[in-house]
Amino acid sequence: MKHADQLFEEMNYIEAAKVYDDYLEKTDKREIETLKNAGDAHYFISKIPQALKWYAQLYKIQGEAMENEYLFKYIQTLRGVQDYEKADALAEIYLKRQKNPMLINRFKEQRKELRDLKEESSDYVLYNLSINSENSDFGAAFYGDQLVYSSSKKNNETSNKIYVWNQQPYLDLYIADRTKNNGELINEQLFMEGLASRYHDATIAFSNALDTIYYTTNMSKNNKWSNKNGVNNFHVMRGHIVEGEVEGIEDLIFNSKEYSVGHPALSADGKYLFFVSDMPGGFGDTDLYMVQLNPDGSMTLPKNLGAQINTEGREMFPYYQNDVLYFSSDGHYGLGGLDIFQAKNLGDFRFSVPQNLGKPVNSSKDDFSYIIAENQEEGYMSSNRSMGKGDDDIYYFTRSCYQLMAGKVLDSLTKKPLANASVIIKNQFDTKIKTVMTDSKGIYLAQVPCNNTFLVTGTKNNYSIAVKSITTGNVHRDTLDGVNFLLSSYNDLVEIDGDEEKIKIDPIFFEFNEYDIRPRAAKQLDHIVYVLESFPEMKIKIESHTDSRGSDTYNLLLSQNRAKSTKNYLISRGIAENRIVSIKGYGEIEILNRCVNGVECNDEEHEENRRSNFIIVK
């Protein structure tokens, strides 16, 4: 056991795992520390089924008294073998210990969203690249039309010294040309050979002008980065590209020999640098941080991205584009190992609840190092999933960008939800894209392509229609919330008068002896416009009446002119002329009260007779 423990302390986890396995297979003795180390040795080299074996035995001994760190790892290994039911049950125990409602609510939200994603067809297609080796290939970064990435493949130009953790050569940076038709990488060579050291050089980021680089390394002159345990921690370095070479390489202010910093990522405007670190004061094993970069090259102190992003686990490999942070995590709800998430910057770098990108981007293994092109349709990621070519492989992907349109359909009068209402989505050419129905709460959800404008119609049988123009953005899986519709019931807009149906309307006021449409009359006629627009198949006839003052002949002509003015106003507001079947002035033929010729009445009584009817004929 001393030999196994020594190998473990030296971080020679591959050999340590073998010795622990041999020992535990030959004895029935189960010591807590031995089971922990045996599980960890496999866990650290991504041998998840083997790690699960020893963590499960540890849990059998300790039960719910198991320490948080190891309960967390046990849950992760269960996810790694896709035993999600048991993992979720233990996760609930784990979360109750935290006594943090935010974590529980986030767990429930992310679990529901991931389950919903499984039921949808994927918008991603992944391709394993032919350039991948039997070792680790990952950490891609766009460099103009080329790609720079990290690899531990053997080459004849660096030392090929072996990294004891995974028994592979140390990482070097490579550059290759990208083919436009399938994302393959060709013409591979070492990237700026002057950067290559005897240890790790990996995960790089470039300014938009491609003249400044940030990269991760753990090589320093005279081993000055080595801590008291002899470990060279990772640092993020900055340099400037001048005529194809890197000059002025500098150690950034937040680096330390006491902890690691790596995985740099720049915002498009070059104002913010994101990175990962295990520095003290974080939430978990590794957290995501950011600094603001000043024009003179100075920078602010690191800011932790907070509990919405960082968990008790590992958050790694940030990538920031269009106010969306992409990153990998094994602390948020996922399929197993590191999963790739996205979170939207809501302002001042306050982020939304991270969304799991689902299959096939994520698997039960480690999925990480996600980048996407500006067109939002293609990119690269890395994974150590089964059926790959080596340890970690780089995958090219294509993606159909979409957003979620959400809202409610309500009765305009009662504000009650309308179930089974239709929401019809058409493009700018009036081609129907899809129709979705509301649920019992009047809620609908529709998936629509990014960067498009749509005409969206809410409708329900025996109700009005409502139309809105909606434009989607370029943030994948963003939600356009609050696209609501208020629909009016036909029965609320129409009244029965004998054998006829009429549009309900308050009196249309014409001044005495006039037929011009005044503002008071226009207000009521706009209601007629609304009804006709709400029921596009409806046709009407217009009837106009006067009071008894004036001669019968004159009033007949006056009412006809008022009917014509009414028709012309409706047409001016966009109502097609063929929807007004007829107009007719009745003069004083159909007086509603006692105010016939020769009867003295006040103005209010005469006003009752000056009216218009809008009779529905279809």
Residue 416 and residue 528 share a domain: no
* Domain-embedded: residue 109: no
- For residue 534, the tally of other CB atoms under 10 A from its CB is 19
**Domain limit, last residue, from 488, 509, 540:** 488
DSSP state of 183: -
SS3 content of the chain, % helix, strand, coil (to 5): 25, 35, 40
CA distances from 533 to 250, 464, 487, 570 (A): 67, 8, 12, 11
Residue 241 and residue 145 share a domain: yes
Report the pLDDT value the prediction gives residue 32, as an integer from 0 to 100: 93
Residue 17 and residue 137 share a domain: no
Question: Any bridge partners for residue 292, and if so which?
Answer: 272
Cβ contacts of residue 38 below 8 Å, gap of 6+? 17, 20, 21, 24, 54
Digit-coded pLDDT (tens) for 44-66:
988 999 999 999 999 999 998 99
* Cα distance between residue 378 and residue 548, in whole Å: 77
| 584: nearest Cα among 567, 608, 570 | 567
**Domain limit, last residue, from 400, 425, 456:** 400
Residue 273 and residue 293 share a domain: yes
| 340: nearest Cα among 321, 324, 350, 355 | 355
Residue 11 and residue 88 share a domain: yes
Residue 290 and residue 145 share a domain: yes
Q: Which domain holds residue 424?
A: 403-488
* Cα distance between residue 42 and residue 35, in whole Å: 11
> Structurally, how many domains does the chain consist of?
4
Report the pLDDT value the prediction gives residue 507, as an integer from 0 to 100: 74
Report the pLDDT value the prediction gives residue 604, as an integer from 0 to 100: 85
Residue 329, phi then psi, degrees to nearest 5: -155, 145
Residue 595 and residue 473 share a domain: no
Digit-coded pLDDT (tens) for 215-229:
998 765 445 555 555
Ranges of the chain whose pLDDT falls below 50? 221-222
* Cα distance between residue 449 and residue 474, in whole Å: 9
Residue 503 and residue 481 share a domain: no
* Cα distance between residue 153 and residue 280, in whole Å: 33
Residue 498, phi then psi, degrees to nearest 5: 65, -120
Report the pLDDT value the prediction gives residue 66, as an integer from 0 to 100: 94
- For residue 494, the tally of other CB atoms under 10 A from its CB is 16
* Domain-embedded: residue 555: yes
Residue 607 and residue 547 share a domain: yes
* Domain-embedded: residue 114: no
Digit-coded pLDDT (tens) for 67-92:
999 999 999 999 999 999 999 999 99
Beta strands (DSSP E) in 33-136 are: 124-128
